[in-house]
Amino acid sequence: MALYTRDSIERLRDAVDMADLVGSKTDLRRVGSRLTGLCPFHDERTPSFSVNAQDKLFYCFGCHAKGDAIGFVEQTEGLDFREAVEFLADRYGVELELENEDPQAESRRRRRERLLALLDRAARFYDSYLWESTEAARARDYLAGRGFSEEILRRFRVGYSPSAWDRMLLGARQSGYSEEELMAAGLAQRGRDGRSAYDRFRGRIMFPLADGRGRVLGFGARQMGEGRGPKYLNTSENEIYHKGRQLFGLDIARAEAAKSGRIVVVEGYTDVLALHQAGIREAVAIMGTALTQEQLAEVGRAASTVVLALDADRSGQEAMLRASRLAEERGLELRVVEMPEGTDPAELVISAGAKGFQERMERAVPMIEFQVRRVLADADLDTPSGRDKALGEARKLISAVPERTATRDALVREAADRLDVPAAALSAGIRSRASAGPAAPAGAEPAAVAPTGASFGEASLAAERAFLASCLASGELGREYLESLSEEHLSSPIAGAARAHLLSSFDDPLASLSEDEPAVAALVNNVAMAAQERHPATEPALRMDFLNLELRRIEREIRRADDDSRRMELAGARQQVRREMDQVMGQTA
């Protein structure tokens, strides 16, 4: 995908009014030379959020959230870099230019734009057909019978596809789309004879599946009545639509999720409609699949707490463990709402009301805890082999929780109690995380970010990754900052090795990348890709990034320090770093 020109990004950056942008999310007051306010990223009563309007940077002394104008939009709106750039360009009236595209890339982009326009046209057509045709009367009755208001159905652009074989095909052709394009967009298909094309969706309630910005990529379609075919029919995997990445309602839930810091993942379309109608507007659906890594990454961009209101028995334990690890790596908190057996969120919100559902959400437990409890509850305690099996499973789950955390201690105690083994014996068998993977202890002050103690922040890893990418994107200045970093600033040996590689092949880190150490190669790759998306950072931005890692380094040392005088010394150093951050934030405002 072509990038926006550096010049576009510079003009955009000049055009942004930082006080206005941040002021739209939190009230700012001028204190001395800088602007402060309550942090939009964490709950607080006294302002620790600071804005440097001149350099257009923000930093929170409480939760360490930080960045520039684009980063602010990424984090508050749950958008990626490119989307955030487009958001700001809209808001401040800046025209963006794409880098010179090669002709092939340009024609791919044009084709994609045409297919997206076609899909949007289809969504509009189905939408008006639902409300205006006599044929759709039964569908309207059915939806009303499920308790959905016209307002909520219109907000999600729910529609109806005519039962005729070719309405979409004929209409789109008249508007200048080819049969091939209709097929590529997943709206038409060919019969067995391989020649005649016909509409894929007929006589069905249509749920448009959009990306985070509301662009329709495909459809989910529910059969009405006794027609042929499966009850639910979706767009097949194609050049636009990828099932594993899709979440129904993400475009509509995104802003609310970014604001509340929480996103609720449910099973189906009607769960999403019911929850939104009940005022729980941060709900999205995975539509009957197991939660994929890509989906988790998507929801994780929208909010840092992901609440699953799914049938937990359906998703395998292995998949949930993988999800837990990924969540942790991304600094996400994964929680599970316990649902009454055989009830889905749509039913629950009807029977217990929005308040009842909210209460259950408040009681949602961290994923690992949920899994451990389930293992303990299901354990066959009467036989030694049953107990051994449960012990093995519990150990494996608990190994995913960082050591020396209250959560881990509590789980060990609970499991030991229930399985009637000494806690120490249970602990001893748990694989240490050092050998389990590249993840490392947290960096941020957990109390400030996550009162529940569950977000043990792979926040560190994310901050390190972001810093390495900024350096790589910032030429000579970036190289200097990369050099000034020491091994101690990085929370894992893998990040240390990645830094060494970046330094030795700064100009083209991917060219000489060895695959001997896959974890290092993956990180370098990740950083290099992120760097390509970035614009060069300003000196104050790099300085803030560096100080942030310095702060995390000191905090790690404080946690490891075992005598008071050392701790005092470190606390002094921490104070020093904070003062310097303060200066960077206020120096030119």
Rounded CA-CA distance 301/245 in Å is 13
Nearest distance from C-beta of residue 50 to Zn ion, angstroms: 10
Q: What radius of gyration do the chain's Cα atoms show?
A: 26
Query: Across the strands, what pairs with 223?
Result: 204
The CA distance from 133 to 340, in Å, is: 39
**Alpha carbon 270 to chain centroid distance?**
22
Binders of Zn ion in range 181-200 (CB under 5 A):
none
Distances in Å between the Cα of 378 and the Cα atoms of 130, 332, 384, 435 are: 47, 28, 14, 29
Q: Does 162 bind Zn ion (CB under 5 A)?
A: no
Number of residues that bind Zn ion (CB under 5 A): 7
Per-residue binding letters, 538-577, with Zn ion (x by CB under 5 A): ----------------------------------------
Q: What is the smallest separation between the CB atom of 110 and Zn ion, expressed in angstroms?
A: 42
Interface pattern 31-50 for Zn ion (x via CB under 5 A): --------x-xx--------
Binding pattern for the stretch 383-412 against Zn ion, x by CB under 5 A and - elsewhere: ------------------------------
**186 neighbors 238 (Cβ within 8 angstroms):** yes
DSSP strand E in 390-495: where?
none
66/534 with CB nearer Zn ion = 66
What the block records as the tokens of 504 is 């030795």
Tokens at 9, concatenated:
């990004």
Min CB(63)–Zn ion separation in Å? 3
Contacts of 33 (CB under 8 A, 6+ apart): 586, 587, 588, 589
- When the beta carbons of 41 and 72 are compared against Zn ion, the nearer one is 41
The residue type of 348 is L
Least gap, CB of 37 to Zn ion (angstroms): 10
DSSP 338-380: PPPTT--HHHHHHHHHHHHHHHHHHT-EEHHHHHHHHHHHH--
The answer to whether the CB of 459 falls within 8 A of the CB of 444 is yes
Specify the residue, 41 or 546, whose C-beta has the smaller distance to Zn ion. Answer: 41
**Measured from the CB of residue 62, what is the shortest distance to Zn ion in angstroms?**
4
Nearer to Zn ion, 22 or 284 (CB): 22
For residue 308, the surrounding DSSP H or E stretch is strand 305-308
* Residue 26 vs 505, nearer CB to Zn ion: 26
Paired with 123 in beta bridges are none
CB of residue 547 to Zn ion, shortest distance in Å: 16
Q: Which two tokens stand for residue 82?
A: 């490119």
User: To 5 degrees, how large is the angle CA 445–CA 446–CA 449?
Assistant: 95
Output the smallest distance, CB 446 to Zn ion, in A. Answer: 13
**CA 317 – CA 8 distance, rounded (Å):** 47
User: At closest approach, how far in Å is the CB of 532 from Zn ion?
Assistant: 29
Nearest CB to Zn ion, comparing residues 186 and 443 = 443
Residue with Cβ nearer Zn ion (172 or 444)? 444
Residue (186 or 586) nearer to Zn ion, CB: 586
CB-based contacts of 170: which residues, under 8 Å, 6+ apart?
none
The burial class, CB within 10 Å (0-12 / 13-18 / 19+), for 252 is buried
| Closer residue to Zn ion, CB minimum distance, 29 or 228 | 29
Minimum distance, C-beta of residue 41 to Zn ion, in the bound complex (Å)? 4
Q: Would you say 450 or 527 has its CB closer to Zn ion?
A: 450
Q: CB of residue 449 vs Zn ion: minimum separation in angstroms?
A: 8
459-473 helix and 475-484 helix, angle to the nearest 10 degrees: 140
- Whichever of 59 and 129 has its CB closer to Zn ion, that residue is 59
Half-sphere exposure of residue 78: CA atoms within 13 angstroms, side-chain side? 28
CB of 427 to Zn ion, least distance (A): 34
User: Which residues, 40 to 99, sit near Zn ion by CB under 5 A?
Assistant: 41-42, 60, 62-63, 65
**Binding region for Zn ion (CB under 5 A):** 39, 41-42, 60, 62-63, 65
